[in-house]
């Protein structure tokens, strides 16, 4: 994947929740970035409920995650997003992520339905990924087996309550994971040692 990925707080929290965030972020070769206002929303590590600061600093130090700042053009979009009417207003973190992605022509990774709707309406050229899309691309790029990726996805559901979008369900079927009412029911399908194949779901 060649595009820069701008992460909202939710995909970062979900990566932390899986217990091995470096396995999710490292395959993107330094292309995962977070705007500084968005990063402020990541306070607790859901995996152990400790302060997220030390883990985030480690990811940043190893260049798995880069902290960026809005430019003048992005800041104008940011102000418009946070100051909109209640039905179209976003919080600072989501607004900053969307505004930065639009400013630099990057892919935005976010799960919140309202933020995704507003992003599609305001910035139709800005491609959107979900947290599970991030996990899937990480697995495919690094050649993880099903035995390796399934526990990470399961922990993200359990610890971080990762959200599932309709377009994610095909990949969950491929993994043999059913996500119902925030609980997981696992069904093993085929050999767990075969690598995750590209193209098993749509975005």
Classify 22 as helix, strand or coil. Answer: helix
Asked if the model's pLDDT at residue 107 lies above 50, the reply is yes
Above pLDDT 90, what percent of the chain? 83
Q: Choose among 194, 190, 199: nearest CA to 145.
A: 194
**Cross-strand pairs, 70:** none
For residues 136-147, average pLDDT? 95
Asked if the model's pLDDT at residue 199 lies above 90, the reply is no
Domain 1-203 CATH (choose: 3.40.50.1010, 3.20.20.140, 3.40.50.300, 3.20.20.60) = 3.40.50.1010
93 within 8 A of 40, measured Cβ to Cβ: yes
Q: Rounded to 5 degrees, what are φ and ψ at 83? A: -100, 10
pTM higher than 0.85 for the full model?
yes
């Amino acid at each position: 994947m060649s595009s820069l990925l701008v992460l909202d707080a939710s995909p970062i929290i979900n990566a932390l929740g899986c217990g091995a965030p470096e396995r999710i972020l490292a395959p993107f070769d330094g292309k995962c970035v977070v705007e500084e206002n968005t990063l402020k929303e990541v306070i607790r590590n859901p995996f152990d409920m400790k302060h997220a600061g030390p883990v985030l600093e480690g990811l940043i130090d190893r260049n798995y995650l880069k902290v960026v700042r809005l430019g003048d053009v992005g800041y104008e979009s940011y102000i418009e997003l946070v100051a909109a009417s209640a039905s179209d207003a976003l919080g600072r973190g989501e607004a900053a992520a969307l505004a930065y992605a639009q400013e630099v022509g990057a892919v935005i990774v976010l799960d919140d339905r309202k933020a995704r709707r507003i992003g599609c309406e305001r910035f139709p050229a800005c491609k959107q990924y979900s947290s599970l899309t991030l996990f899937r691309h990480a697995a495919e790029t690094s050649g993880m087996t099903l035995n390796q990726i399934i526990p990470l996805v399961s922990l993200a559901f359990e610890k971080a309550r990762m959200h599932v979008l309709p377009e994610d369900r095909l990949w969950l079927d491929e993994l043999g994971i059913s996500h119902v009412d925030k609980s997981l029911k696992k069904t093993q399908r085929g050999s767990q040692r075969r690598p995750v194949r590209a193209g098993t779901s749509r975005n």
